[in-house]
Each structure stands twice: as structure tokens, then as C-alpha cells.
Amino acid sequence: MSKQQRVMTNTYYQEKYRPHVHFTPESMWMNDPNGLVYFEEEYHLFYQYHPDGKTWGPMHWGHAVSRDLLTWRHLPLALFPDEIGMIFSGSVVVDWNNTSGFFKDGEPGLVAIFTHATGDLQRQSVAYSKDNGRTWEKYVHNPVIDNDNITDFRDPKVFWHEDSSQWIMVLTIGRRVRFYASNNLIDWFTLSDFGENWGAQDGVWECPDLFMLTNEDTEEKKWVLQIGVDDGAYAGGSGTQYFVGNFDGTVFTPDQNPSDVRWIDVGKDFYAAQSFSDMPDDRRIIIAWMSNWTYAEDIPTDPWRSAMTLPRELKLCTIDGCETVVQQPVSELTQLRSVTHDIGRVAVSRERPFRMRQPNAPFEIEFDIEHINGKLECHFFKTGKESFIFSIDNEKSTIERKHFFTDDFSDSFYSLTSAPLPYGTPLRLRAVCDHSSVEWFINDGTQTSTHLFFPTDTTEYNISFQVQSGDVNIKDLSIYELQSVWSNPDQ
């Protein structure tokens, strides 16, 4: 959309289903987040982008920057396909000591490591930027890692490993990962492989990440290996699993058993999560693609398709003897709160459901469940027979998600999904609702569940809590209306 069109229509970012606290491209197709990095007081978000269509196509790297992780400014495309191939996923690091030789002595710069892909051939290449990511130059001797007839050889995540004083790359190869090392980001040598017959194996592994977290309970430092799986996730389709263990600069050794599968998020719409490099405050922040490969190309949005999750801060805790990745929306989100609705205590039974008019999205809702006997249904965007329903079934110890909306674009999208709820009462729940998504954080983020939905075009919705049998006691129920992070850049 041109500047003149935006000003004349005054509809910039006001389309049906357009998120207002989640990142979306202005138009066309987007998928995996790439190259998340902090440099010169800016957070950079690169992403897989097809500028000429609303379905997956010749991949470029889109680019946006932010100073608060929420308010993003779109920049021109960063990387374009060339004679070597399309630009698949990868990462960006700050080369602080100019190990690559791309920059002037004593001046750091940004280096992107990504997959060049043409047909079935996938190889790893490098580009660099001397102007804070605004323009990029590809290394003249790309690719830097060739391919010996390996299928699914992609998505390099690179970081500096202090203990061994070298750059480490983790790369997915089919249903495993391979670790490489380098002193200069150009010349790489193989270290080891991990993953054969480990974890979820139904789909191809993609978009790996490896980082250290300190266990909040034991104060022990552990490494978390996070990997996207393109099929066979807990809720069906694509999802993101993780392993907890140790990395010595050569080999990753997990603490869990090979059959122990742990999911970062048990919802339908959380994939290809990546963390920011070179964070200034030692926080580990991730962003994921908020969609699912089962139906991603069919969701009913226009002129764009796909959104990112909220940025989330990760911590590691021991819960019921299991080291668990815990996540919450970044603290900056609370700065968007405007109007607060403090409802307090609510008793819900079949005879006494709770109902209130839903504030305009986006909004947050928080509440504690003191007591639950039966199954609590939380309805959002409810109009007559339509609603998005998130249920907590105490008898089955499960959470469930289902939709009742009229736009049946995919059977997989509207199918019932459930996940175990490994907690008794009390329960603490927090949800962030945008115009077409909800992210649930249970018990301070020890479990998360992320889902898209597409309600009919109306502005009058209700929120309701109801049970078919039994009763539920809720306390500290609060709703926070959130300000939009988007404004017309031409006004």
C-alpha cells in the first residue's frame, strides 16, 4: 500500500483480524522469525518473507526494529534471493571483535548466517552490515558450508561460546542437529551430532536454538536446545520441543530420557521460536511464528498473512522434579495497559454463569481459581452461538481449546485440542487476547497455550465463565485494556 493510499483511506493496520500488540508484516506472507539481535539500542526482527504473495514463495528476509520489543518500525527488505538460491532461515550476531574481518579495526558490526536454498540443495552462507542492519553485503565466497547431498540441511543458529572462545553453530539435518565451530564466522568445522531417536521424531527438525539458563531453584547453569518440528506436535501439525542438558563446546548431553518429549507451548500456533542475541540485560527473550503449517496458507486475513507471538522471557525452574522452561510476556507489555476492570471474586455454577461485555481487543485477563469441581469454560469473543472456548477440566486434569465460528477454512484448525494440566488448585491464569489470537500463561508461565481464532465482524462481544456441572470459585479477576502499538507511519 502506498503512502497516498494510507493517508486517503486512514485504514492502516485497521483491517479485520489485524493484531494490535503482535508483529505482522504490512502485507503479504511471513513465517519464521530470523536473526533476532540487539545492537546499538535497537531490537532487530528479521523474518521469512514473500513480498509478492500471501502464500509461501521465494523467500527474502523482511526487517523491522524496535526500542521496546513491542512497537516495531518496518524497514526495507534485508536479504534477497540470488544466483545461489532463496534466503531461508538463519541468525544474526554482533561481531564485537571483528573476528570475520568484515569491519574496521575496533568497530563491531552485524553478521547474518543463513541458508541459501535452490531446489533440494541447501547450503549455509554469510552476509554482513556496516550500518546497523540497514543494508547488507553478501560474502563473495558464499556458501561457507557446502552440502554433501544432505536433505533438509538448514536454519543455522550461531552464538559465541565463552568457555571455548569460538563461534558455535547448531544446524538441523533431517531429524537431528549438527554442531559446528569457527573462529571467524567463515571457516567452519564439524563438532558433533545430536538427536537421532531423541524427542519428537514424526516431523523434520527445523529452526534450532541453543542457549544457557540458570535454574531458579538450584542455581545450576543448564543449556536448553530448542527445536521446531514441522509435524507431529502435541496439538497437531507443527510445534516446538526442547531438551535440557549440558554443552561443553563440542557435545550436547541431555539430562532427560530419549523418549521424554517436552513442548515449549502446547497450543496449535507456536512454531520456529528464536531467541535474541546480545541482549543488554542477560534476559533470554524469544519470539515464535504464531501459526501452524497445517493451515497457515489458508487463514482468512488480508492483505497480510501470519503474525508473531508476543516476545516472551524464559526462565528455568524445577517443577515436580522436572527442569521446565517457564515463560511470561516481556515486562514491557504492562506499559500498554490503559483501562483496568477489577472484578474481584466470582462464584460460577450451572445456575450462575458469569458474563460481562468484553472490552475491545487487545486486552489481558488475569484470575486465580481457588476451587474447581468439574469443568470451567472460559468463553471469549462470544456472540450467540459463536465463541472461542478455553476449558479447564479438573476431573480429567486437562486443558482444552475449541472454536465456534462460521469461517470453516480448515478442519484441522477447528478441531478440538487438549493437553495435560499437571497442577491442582489454586491455579493462576493469564491470557493476552488480540483481534485474532490468545496466548494463555498458566501458573506464571509453567505451561503456555497459544491459539489463533477468527471471529465474525462485530464489535460487541461477551466474556463468560460457565460450567455444565459442579462449581468454580474465582478470585482476583482483572481485565486490562491494552493500547495498540501501531500507528500510521505517514501521519
Which residues are tagged catalytic?
32
* Residue 183, all three cell numbers: 573462529
For cell 534477497, the residue is 80
Cell numbers placing 117: 536454498
Burial class of residue 58 (count of CB atoms within 10 Å of its CB; 0-12, 13-18, 19+): middle
Q: Beta partners for 122?
A: 117
Is 290 in contact with 309 (CB distance < 8 Å)? Answer: yes
Are 298 and 114 a contacting pair, CB within 8 Å?
no
Residue 213 CB contacts under 8 Å (≥ 6 apart), including other chains: 221, 222, 223, 224, 284, 314, 315, 316, 325
How far apart CA 270 and CA 137 sit, in angstroms, is: 32
Burial (CB count <10 Å: 0-12, 13-18, 19+), residue 483: middle
Query: What is the rounded CA–CA span in Å between residue 228 and residue 236?
Result: 13
Distances (CA, A) of 281 to 67, 140, 277, 285, 335: 14, 35, 11, 10, 18
